[in-house]
Amino acid sequence: MIDLIRIYLTATGSCTVIFALTAIAAARIRKANLNFENTLARRYISILNHALLGNDGQCLFPLIKRRRARLLLAVIVSKFCSSTYGYDRNITYTIARRYRLDRSVLRRVRLSSGMRRAQWLNTLSALPTDDRTCRRITSRYLGSRNEYTSLYAMLTAMNHAPEKCIVLLRDYPRQLHPLAISEVLMMFKRGLIPTAYQPMLDSESRNVRMLGLCVVRHFGIVEAEEQIAKAVNSDDRSISSAALFTLCSLRLPLNRPEVRRATARMDPNTRRIWYRHRASEGY
């Protein structure tokens, strides 16, 4: 009996040591991989900056044949495209097409799920895609139950065909929340959506009108005063409220019958928010 206990304790101790050594080795491998990716990312960023200065002939990325390296380059190019504007987009698009970054990201989209899939779709929405990839994205993920997956699938389609922006917004199966509208506005600011604000404000689609009000409010377009005042009378409470806040943000006159009617329709909580916003804007 004592011998069995000794054997059991010895085996247990050996397994514990093996598990501990395995965990230490895995941690070291993860740390080494992270250091390698950070070093490679700095190198890729340096090469990309060099290419944007007009030296595209020297735009050669080391270890680019590796799948992880292509994914890393796709993330870097996507972040650069989504956070800057006023640059030559042909350079980044040439790099993305040369190494087929959209195919690499699309493979990760298929293998992922939940918010991880939405994250990869967000990366893909800033990269150039071909017609086949765009059709796959819209057919599979535009109607997804995950609202972020559906949103970034729509943004991918917008990036591929900016001239269809209004159609995509009109046919989008959900109502856009403020975060989604801000994502579309970022594409508008980068010059990817060639659409004037007047057709958006006159549209019958709720999503299109909300984007139009956001554009007018962000860029300070006071010439749209009559169209904003018309939107205040909308039966849709969200459009009416957005139009009220747009009038206030643009410092336009609020002594209007439509403003008083819209204020009377508000519930007490919304009315308090509205009055605080007016006070903060100096009314």
Could you write out the DSSP letters of every residue in the chain? -HHHHHHHHHHHHHHHHHHHHHHHHHHHHHHHHHHHHHHHHHHHHHHHHHHHTT-GGG---TTTTSHHHHHHHHHHHHHHHHH--SS-HHHHHHHHHHTTHHHHHHHHHHH--HHHHHHHHHHHTTS---HHHHHHHHHHHTT-SSHHHHHHHHHHHHHH-GGGHHHHHHH-SSPPPHHHHHHHHHHHHTT-----HHHHHT-S-HHHHHHHHHHHHHHT-GGGHHHHHHHHT-SSHHHHHHHHHHHHHTT-----HHHHHHHHHS-HHHHHHHHHHHHHTT-
**Do 246 and 217 meet the contact criterion of CB atoms below 8 Å apart?**
yes
Q: What is the pLDDT of residues 143-201, one digit of tens each?
A: 888 888 999 999 999 888 888 888 888 888 888 888 888 888 888 777 677 677 888 88
Residue 1: per-residue pLDDT: 56
Residue 101 reports pLDDT greater than 80: yes
Task: Please tell me which residue, 221 or 82, carries the higher pLDDT value.
Answer: 221
Residue 31: per-residue pLDDT: 47
Q: What is the pLDDT of residues 230-260, one digit of tens each?
A: 888 888 888 888 888 888 888 888 888 888 8
Per-residue pLDDT, averaged over 96-107, amounts to: 87
